[in-house]
Copies of this chain bind each other. A is one copy, B any other.
Amino acid sequence: MSATSHRPSVTRRFLLAARPVGLPKESDFKLVEAPLPAPEAGQVLVKTVYLSVDPYMRGRITGVRTYADPVHVGDLMVGGTVGQVIESRDPSLQPGDYVAGYWGWQDHAVAPAAGLQKLNPQLAPVSTALGVLGMPGMTAYFGFLEICHPKAGETVVVSGAAGAVGSLVGQIAKIQDCRVIGIAGGDDKIKYIVSDLGFDGAFNYKTTSDYVASLKELCPKGIDCYFDNVGGAISDSVFALLNPFARVSVCGQISQYNLEAPELGPRLLAQILVRQLKVEGFIVTRFLERWQQGVAQMAQWMKEGRIKYHEDIVEGFEKTPRAFIDMLEGKNTGKMLVKA
């Protein structure tokens, strides 16, 4: 084994220090050092290159079991990661190899090689394994196509449209020959999704007082598919304009994640009834068996120039909590990453 003499003896980790109340604070996380053991047979030692910060993590630190066990106070924060192998005790990986995994908010880790995905830096930048070719990309691909079943000519609305997932959903919808309208929070984001990504229209919910009026103007034939990343008042306005037999893919509810008490809203079941809507929530892991098919299609579309992506990269491992909080506040355009 090479480079054992350079093996660091500790890893830096962010633990959950307190359950956030409302919007998380940096003090809800605690940076600690932990001993870094030598890899055993079948394991590798990796140095973190990129960390992913994603909306779903807010749900994991609430202390409520949702679709996965919660992160408890004192636990290492979970999260998708990309790193470089420093030392390997598995024949499938060599020092220098890039891998994607899920070793959480730490700058080094010892992990089983079997749980890592070897990346080819010649095919795509390794960071894309956390974005367009990773969980957010597959969330957009399967969550939109398999739940909304868009047809050519239909009108698709995407909330959180400039985010890691929403920006891809809109482009996939354009590939399906749909009319695509985005909702996002910032004029720069609106410009990005319309001018750079080819959305047919968009509005900035932060400077728009009447969402329904804006949507009516942008969607003269009503709305057939809604890909929802945000929930709350934005979704209420979209529901008001859904056509009979419209499909709603519920991917995220970021507007609700940091509320200190659950918010009331207009009841939606009566609308679901009279317009025969289909509303379905999903977690991307349900599509795991078909993951490679999705990655291959997204990579092909990228190669053809039909799918573009943007990364908002924060430099410095120690800024991971800040990047996470900024992402929850919608400060990113495209995929928010931390470069360790």
| Interface of A toward B, CB cutoff 8 Å | 59, 66-67, 228, 231-232, 235, 244, 250-253, 256, 262-283, 286
Contacts and interface: CB of A to CB of B under 8 A. Distances in A.
Label chain A's interface by main secondary structure.
mixed
Given A67-B244, A264-B265, A267-B263, A283 B278 contact: no
Contacts of A276: 67, 280-283, 286
Contact of A250 (B250, B252, B272, B281): B272
Given A264-B267, A265-B266, A279-B280, 18 more contacts: A231-B267, A250-B269, A251-B273, A252-B273, A253-B269, A253-B273, A262-B266, A263-B267, A264-B266, A265-B267, A272-B280, A273-B281, A275-B281, A276-B280, A276-B281, A276-B286, A278-B279, A278-B281
Contact of A265 (B244, B265, B271): B265
A254 to B, nearest CB: 10
A263 B279 CA distance: 20
Contacts of A270: 231, 253, 256
A228 B271 CA distance: 13
Contact of A59 (B274, B277, B283): B274
Contacts of A268: 268-269
B274 A66 contact: yes
Contacts of A250: 269, 272-273
A147 to B, nearest CB: 9
